[in-house]
Amino acid sequence: MADQLLEAPERVLSTLNPDGSRRWIRPKSAMGKWWKRRRVVAWLLMILFTAVPWMRVSGKPVMLLDVVHRDFIFFGVTFQPTEVTLLMLLMLGIFFGIFLITSLLGRGWCGWACPQTVYLEFLYRPIERLIEGKGTGRAHKKVARWRVVLKYLIYLVFSLHLSNTFLSYFAGPQQVFEWSFGSPQEHMTPFLIVMFVTALIMFDFVSFREQMCTLVCPYARLQSVLLDRDSLIIGYDEKRGEPRGKKRHHAQDQAQTGDCIDCGLCVAACPTGIDIREGLQLECVACTQCIDACDAVMEKIERPVGLIRFASQNTLAGLAHKVVRIRVVLYPLLLVVVFGAFLFGLNHRQMGEAMFLRNQNAVVVATPEGVVQTVILRIDNRDDRAHTYQMELGAGVEVLGAQFPVELEAYGSKTLNLPVRVAATAFANSRFQLQLSVYDDAEFRTDLHMTLFTPTNLHE
Ligand code: SF4
Ligand code: SF4
């Protein structure tokens, strides 16, 4: 059956062999100056990822995404899901920021800051090399079984740590710490989440690896529209390197070839398995490993370093590099507008919110005293202290039952079913404009309107 399969004439994906089987990539490490710089950044980021849930500003977490209580805290400011505009502006700002960074620095995010690259290249892969050796290909297949088991056990410890840290962003580190020492039966849902995330992390770093960048990540797919020919990328200087050829001993022979001696070390070092000499490719995560590998070769053969380097496509083609382009001007402008609107909204945000919710099961009941129907009112306290809320009604309407005043703790919210009674004669064309104001014991006040409908023949 396998003989009948058509083979691709060449490699279609860097992670696949022509027969469709997985091509395992075990890159050779090149510990040059760029790798050392990336290692410093990576370690700082790993420490930061663990530390952020514990960090506080003005007594509140720097970041907490409390999905259960629907509170989202960023830099000590609490947002609720109802603050759609502010959250949308924040997301837009983040998107425009990423667009700007990409158009200036290419895939700097991927190579230097993405958790996938940071943890794979500076935690999981170094552990693998430490335990199994640096062998690639066949040498790697001969690794003793106990070493492989030991590697997976250490992976498991780090993966558990990462999944618990991940949960801390949603539940707070103290809570996760407490859960860690209790029986899983007492907190089954968080326990299952940690197990699931650990399994995902293990799958990713044990098996899936670079395929996350080359096949799954949506950001990678966007590169072709986010980059232009003046964006900084990692590129091979074809003019200088070609025609490639083995190093010759006679200067005259060497003059006939370019600086690339076709040693293949840049390809061997690439964690996504590509050959950067074939030009900019979607799989390139800008990890700089090919630069380090090639610079070491250039030093050895006494040629200037930088045959592979950070450069724009235009620079590599010998054209002038344009720093100021439309997108480089437009994105910062959009960023200023979006963050300006965000800061304005933040400074003028109300410390509460009240709104009518849709009543799917609204029933209209006609009584001798008037028409009764239930409206649903939700009140959110967005302040970090408790408040008491009151209600004020417009003319011609009364609320049955005493539900006010409403006490709400800090960031609390309450949904009330309010049966309202309106005199049948108050309806005009079967409609009545309900007016209601909600206010607290401080400065919050909001006026709400809602149209109530009633059957046309009710007061005929
Ligand atoms: S081509 Fe170079 S920079 Fe790009 S992923 Fe491969 S080694 Fe990293
Ligand atoms: S490492 Fe440099 S010299 Fe060697 S093949 Fe790559 S580009 Fe050519």
Hey, CA dihedral for 91, 338, 282, 287, is it positive or negative? Answer: negative
Which CATH fold would you assign to the domain 352-453? Immunoglobulin-like (2.60.40)
What SS3 state is found at 247?
A: coil
What pLDDT is stored for residue 43 in this prediction? 98
Ligand 1 atom 6 nearest Cα: 270
CA of 281 from ligand 1 middle (Å) equals 9
112, amino acid identity: W
What pLDDT is stored for residue 5 in this prediction? 66
What pLDDT is stored for residue 21 in this prediction? 85
Ligand 2 atom 1 nearest Cα: 294
What pLDDT is stored for residue 68 in this prediction? 83
Model confidence, pTM: 0.80
292, amino acid identity: D
Spatial contact of 311 and 233, defined as CB atoms under 8 Å apart: yes
> Probe ligand 1: pick from 114, 227, 276, max atoms within 8 Å of CB?
276
The ranges assigned to domains in the chain are 31-82+107-223, 230-316, 352-453
Spatial contact of 136 and 26, defined as CB atoms under 8 Å apart: yes
CA of 265 from ligand 2 middle (Å) equals 6
**Average pLDDT, whole number, for the chain?**
89
Q: What is the pLDDT of residues 136-160, one digit of tens each?
A: 655 566 789 999 999 999 999 999 9
pLDDT value at 99 more than 70: yes
Please give the structure tokens belonging to residue 99.
């667009």
CA of 241 from ligand 2 middle (Å) equals 8
Q: What is the pLDDT of residues 12-63, one digit of tens each?
A: 788 888 778 888 999 999 999 999 999 999 999 999 999 999 999 988 899 9
Q: What is the pLDDT of residues 191-237, one digit of tens each?
A: 999 999 999 999 999 999 999 998 899 988 888 888 999 999 999 99
What pLDDT is stored for residue 158 in this prediction? 98
459 vs 369: which has the higher pLDDT: 369
